[in-house]
Amino acid sequence: MRKGEAISKMLKICVEKFDGIMDKSGVPYIFHLLKVMHYLKSDDEELCCIAIGHDLIEDIFKDNHAAGYAYLRREGFSERVIAGIRNMTKVEGESDEAYIERVKSSIDSIKVKLADLRHNSDIRRLKGLRDKDLARIAKYHWMYLALKEAELEFQ
């Protein structure tokens, strides 16, 4: 793909696939994907594609992950982008510990997941704080600390 084409393509795909889907606060979900990419502050096009597409397989191709990865290949995305998204896609029945170990296997996945956790932990996005929200934020904090430690190992 030519420079800029991959980001444009991933953005178009996610705008279409997430059309009409809102986050917990009633905001279009695409804003979350864009915010995660923004937090990276990177001009690495493949990393930005991973950020934009990080929830695509888990949320849109949830019943058939293989079909989602095949779709991304047909659309011309690199194996780096596909692997980054695969590392961030939680599998049904998978423990949080196993999931984080997979995310930790790649610096791309670590960077994007850290940005994802940052945005997901922003309590200003919630309409109120309930016990389950606090429990989720505590889990995200544990994940964040584990990934920050792993990030240092890649440097």
User: Residue 88: what pLDDT?
Assistant: 96
* DSSP structure string for 70-87: HHHHHTT--HHHHHHHHH
Q: Residue 115 in contact with residue 40, Cβ under 8 Å?
A: yes
User: Residue 31: what pLDDT?
Assistant: 97
In tens digits, what is the pLDDT along the chain, a chain of 155 residues?
788 899 999 999 999 999 999 987 889 999 999 999 999 999 999 999 999 999 999 999 999 999 999 999 999 999 999 999 999 999 999 999 999 999 999 999 999 999 999 998 887 777 777 888 789 899 999 999 999 999 999 87
What gap in Å lies between CA 57 and CA 26, rounded to an integer?
A: 21
User: Residue 24: what pLDDT?
Assistant: 79
User: Residue 130: what pLDDT?
Assistant: 81
CATH number at residue 108: 1.10.3210.10
Q: Residue 131 in contact with residue 97, Cβ under 8 Å?
A: no
Domain count, the chain: 1
Q: What is the pTM of this model?
A: 0.94
Q: Which domain holds residue 31?
A: 5-154
User: Residue 122: what pLDDT?
Assistant: 82
User: Residue 83: what pLDDT?
Assistant: 98
User: Residue 26: what pLDDT?
Assistant: 87
